[in-house]
């Protein structure tokens, strides 16, 4: 058998292009259903795990999936905003504790999550270095975000502009990193957490500039009236909130009118949850409320259904590929008839010839199985983030 | 000694039947087998090697009547005691020179591939002028070099009989001379019986005996 294996190895090495094509075809054939199964299982597990820890979610009416993906994973389409007054509405019911989320901007590729410190307690996020944010302009980074941005406590990060060509849009804000979170293996690792009011400053809904009511600011004043001062274009907004200028920062309009993306509602008990769900059933209701688990189950059911189709197609293609591979081997044996006859003439048994051909097939299958297993391991390791990137 | 008696053989479905009442070839002799194409020279070599089994009659090598041996015994006998040389060399393209020479040891369990076998393979290849080409794929050798690899493969197991079918048929005069010299040297050194089927009448003076196959079977 050793001789057959040796000759098989030499033959496959000599015909390396044919061998590579066979191995690649078989690897794909073996990996597709396996990888798909792993991908779906892992994705379902991760999606459910995040959704299970989020009892209720309130946001603007529209796609519940977009809302859930944005609020849970900080990715995907930006849903319509709701007004911040909705937070007070939830609180006033006495049925649940509200945690606002404003997820719109980014620091490079990392999502900026405007929220309150309650979010840290709710998700069990622990500070690994530094401290939580306490004033406007401070931020706390998830472990992956800190690694990606290569910053730590006391370093600075700058928000990325929403649109490079929007001259009237929000100015980038320079923020101080006050802390880095311990790794959790959740989307929180990639986020830049700020106070929800800081996120409004990033959005341009709050800003800071020189006090125009003072007499020495006359050069920047276009018009003074009794109740207001109109500035001219020479007034510069502060692009960083510091101890010196923090008093100059202010928001125009009512806080309750400012936007947020969603509210995490943490009901006191099951009864409160049911009651709160009922509060948002009205026809004129501007918000929707959802149980993320149900939305994710729906998504997973769709994914599983798609997987079924893909597996069916893969099996069909696999059958065709297998037939092709068989015919390649069969043709190969026919082409090698003379070589195999010579082997028999110089003392080789038919059994050895069978072993030689079997070893060639076995080596190709073993290689393909090894590659497929390697790909499956990679899928298990990185597939979930890949599929999340594809879904959201 | 090779002894053939009352041999009859026909390929399945074939119209021609080879009939050979008697033939003896002395041990250690050099015999040339001549005759027109298709008269059965190659078939006779295959019957002598035990690749084919006669329909009737006997082929005896030494004390072994080949037709009485089982297929596996015949195969082992062939691997250990008979060296076959082919006109088209019949080398394995995916092996290098040394691996082709050692091929009988890899395909037959009755031969042991040990250090001695490797040394002998190297010595044979060196003697055949392939010293610097031992690890070269045989696809990158000249015709003459390929036939010398084929001769080394036939001689590697120290056979008692070498059966060569048109061994110089595809060679130019220089390589023909080299191949025949190599066979002659081996026969002289080891006392091997050599039977060569050939159309090349220029080679005949180098043989102890020349058998005209057409006359033999008429």
Task: Provide the H-helix boundaries in chain A.
Answer: 2-14, 16-52, 64-73, 85-93, 117-123, 143-149, 196-202, 270-279, 292-335, 337-345, 350-391
Cβ contacts from A onto B, under 8 A:
59
Average pLDDT, chain B: 90
Contact A186, A192 (CB under 8 A): no
Q: What is the pLDDT of residues B121-159, one digit of tens each?
A: 999 999 888 899 999 999 999 988 999 999 999 999 999
* A346 at interface of B, judged by CB pairs closer than 8 A: yes
Q: What is the pLDDT of residues A309-355, one digit of tens each?
A: 888 888 898 889 889 888 988 998 899 999 999 999 988 888 999 99
DSSP string, B183-201: HHHHHHHH--EEEEE-S-G
Residue B200: how many CB atoms within 10 A of its CB?
Answer: 16
Q: Which of A11, A342, A349 sits opposite B75 (nearest CB)?
A: A349
Optimal mutation site among B69, B81, B92, interface A, most CBs of chain A within 10 A: B92
Two tokens, residue A318: 């696999």
pLDDT of residue B38: 82
pLDDT of residue B134: 93
d(CA B127, CA A224): 111
Q: What pLDDT does A281 receive?
A: 86
Q: What is the DSSP letter of A186?
A: S
Interface of B with A in 122-161 (CB under 8 A): 137, 153
Q: For residue A176, name the pLDDT band (cuts at 50, 70, 90).
A: very high
Per-residue pLDDT reduced to its tens digit, B101-113: 999 999 988 888 9
What are the chain A neighbours of B105 within 8 Å (beta carbons)?
3
Residue B78, chain A, CB below 8 Å: the answer is: yes
| Contact across the interface for B106 and A6, Cβ inside 8 Å | yes
Chain A residues close to B104, C-beta within 8 Å: 346-347
Using an 8 Å CB-CB cutoff, list chain A residues near B153.
346
Contact residues on chain A for B162, CB-CB shorter than 8 A: none
What is the token pair recorded at B58?
């006997």
Q: Which two tokens stand for residue A90?
A: 């939830």
Domains of chain B: 2-217 (3.40.50.300)
Q: In this predicted structure, what is the pLDDT of residue A387?
A: 64
**Hey, what long-range contacts does A89-96 have (CB within 8 A, 24 or more apart)?**
A90/A58, A90/A263, A90/A265, A90/A276, A93/A275, A93/A276, A93/A279, A95/A267, A95/A268, A95/A272, A95/A273, A95/A275, A95/A276, A95/A279, A96/A56, A96/A265, A96/A266, A96/A267, A96/A268, A96/A272, A96/A273, A96/A276
User: Does the CB of A359 have a partner CB in chain B at under 8 Å?
Assistant: no
pLDDT value, residue A287: 92
pLDDT of residue B164: 93
Q: State the smallest CA–CA distance between residue B34 and chain A in angstroms.
A: 22
Angle between helices A337-345 and A292-335 (to 10 degrees): 60
pLDDT of A226 > 80? The answer is no
Q: What are phi and psi of A368, to 5 degrees?
A: -65, -40
Question: Residue A8's closest chain B neighbor by CA?
Answer: B94
As for the ipTM of the complex, it is 0.88
The C-alpha atoms of residue B42 and residue B48 are separated, in whole angstroms, by: 10
Taking alpha carbons only, the member of A102, A137, A103, A155 closest to residue A207 is A137
Give A244-266 as a DSSP string. Answer: TTGGGEEESS-GGGSEESEEEEE
**What is the pLDDT at residue A251?**
81
Distance of alpha carbon B170 from alpha carbon B166, whole angstroms: 8
Residues 3-32 (B) with a CB less than 8 A from some CB of A:
none
Cβ contact (<8 Å) for B107 and A347?
yes
> Is B107 in contact with A343 (Cβ distance < 8 A)?
yes
Q: Which chain B residues are closer than 8 Å to A340 by Cβ?
A: none
Q: Which of A7, A338, A347 sits opposite B79 (nearest CB)?
A: A347
> Could you tell me if B183 and B151 are in contact, meaning their C-beta atoms sit under 8 angstroms apart?
yes
As a whole number of Å, the end-to-end CA separation of chain B is 23
**Tens digits of per-residue pLDDT, A14-60?**
999 999 999 999 999 899 888 888 888 887 887 888 888 899 999 99
Strand A138-141 and strand A174-181: pairing?
parallel
- Which comes out higher in pLDDT, residue A343 or A383? A343
């Amino acid at each position: 058998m050793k001789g057959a294996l040796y000759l098989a190895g030499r033959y496959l090495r000599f015909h390396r292009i044919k061998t590579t094509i066979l191995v690649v075809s078989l690897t794909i054939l073996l990996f597709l259903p396996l990888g798909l199964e792993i991908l779906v299982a892992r994705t379902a597990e991760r999606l459910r795990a995040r959704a299970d820890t989020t009892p209720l979610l309130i946001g603007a009416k529209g796609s519940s999936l977009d809302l859930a993906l944005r609020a849970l994973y900080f990715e995907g389409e930006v849903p319509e905003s709701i007004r911040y007054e909705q937070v007070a509405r939830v609180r006033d019911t006495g049925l649940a504790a509200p945690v606002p989320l404003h997820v719109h901007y980014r620091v490079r590729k990392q999502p900026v999550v405007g929220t309150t410190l309650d979010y840290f307690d709710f998700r069990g996020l622990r500070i690994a270095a530094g401290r939580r944010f306490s004033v406007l302009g401070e931020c706390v980074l998830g472990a992956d975000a800190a690694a990606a941005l290569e910053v730590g406590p006391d370093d600075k990060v700058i928000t990325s502009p929403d649109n490079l060509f929007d001259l009237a849009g929000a100015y980038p804000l320079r923020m101080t990193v006050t802390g880095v979170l311990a790794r959790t293996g959740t989307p929180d690792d990639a986020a830049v957490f700020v106070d929800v009011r800081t996120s409004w400053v990033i959005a341009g809904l709050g800003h800071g500039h020189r006090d125009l009511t003072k007499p020495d600011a006359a050069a920047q004043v276009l018009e003074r009236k009794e109740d207001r001062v109109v500035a001219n274009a020479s007034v510069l907004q502060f692009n960083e909130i510091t101890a010196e200028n923090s008093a100059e920062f202010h928001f125009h309009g009512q806080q309750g009118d400012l936007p947020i993306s969603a509210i995490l509602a943490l009901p006191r008990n099951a009864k409160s949850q049911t009651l709160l769900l009922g509060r948002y059933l009205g026809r004129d209701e501007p918000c929707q409320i959802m149980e993320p688990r149900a939305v994710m189950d729906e998504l997973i059911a769709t994914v599983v259904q798609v997987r079924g189709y893909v597996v069916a197609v893969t099996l069909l293609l696999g059958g065709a590929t297998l037939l092709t591979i068989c015919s390649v081997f069969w043709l190969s044996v026919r082409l090698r008839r003379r070589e195999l006859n010579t082997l028999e003439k110089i003392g080789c048994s038919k059994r050895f010839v069978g072993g030689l051909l079997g070893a060639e097939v076995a080596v190709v299958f073993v290689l393909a199985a090894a590659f497929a297993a390697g790909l499956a391991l990679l899928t298990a390791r990185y597939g979930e983030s890949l599929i999340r990137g594809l879904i959201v | 000694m090779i002894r053939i008696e009352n041999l009859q053989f026909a390929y399945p479905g074939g119209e021609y039947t080879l009939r050979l009442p008697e033939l003896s070839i002395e041990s250690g002799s050099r015999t040339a087998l001549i005759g027109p194409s298709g008269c059965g020279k190659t078939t006779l070599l295959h019957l002598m090697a035990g690749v084919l089994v006669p329909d009737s009659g006997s082929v005896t090598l030494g004390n072994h009547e080949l037709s009485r041996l089982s297929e596996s015994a015949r195969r082992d006998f062939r691997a250990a005691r008979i060296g076959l040389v082919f006109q088209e060399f019949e080398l394995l393209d995916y092996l290098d020179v040394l691996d082709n020479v050692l091929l009988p040891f890899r395909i037959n369990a009755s031969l042991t591939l040990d250090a001695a076998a490797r040394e002998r393979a190297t010595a044979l290849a060196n003697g055949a002028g392939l010293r610097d080409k031992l690890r070269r794929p045989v696809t990158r050798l000249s015709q003459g070099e390929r036939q010398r690899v084929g001769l080394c493969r036939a001689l590697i197991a120290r056979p008692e009989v070498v059966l060569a079918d048109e061994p110089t048929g595809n060679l130019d005069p220089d390589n023909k001379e080299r191949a025949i010299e190599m066979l002659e040297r081996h026969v002289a050194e080891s006392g091997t019986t050599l039977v060569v089927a050939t159309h090349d009448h220029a080679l005949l003076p180098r043989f102890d005996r020349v058998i005209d196959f057409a006359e033999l079977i008429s």
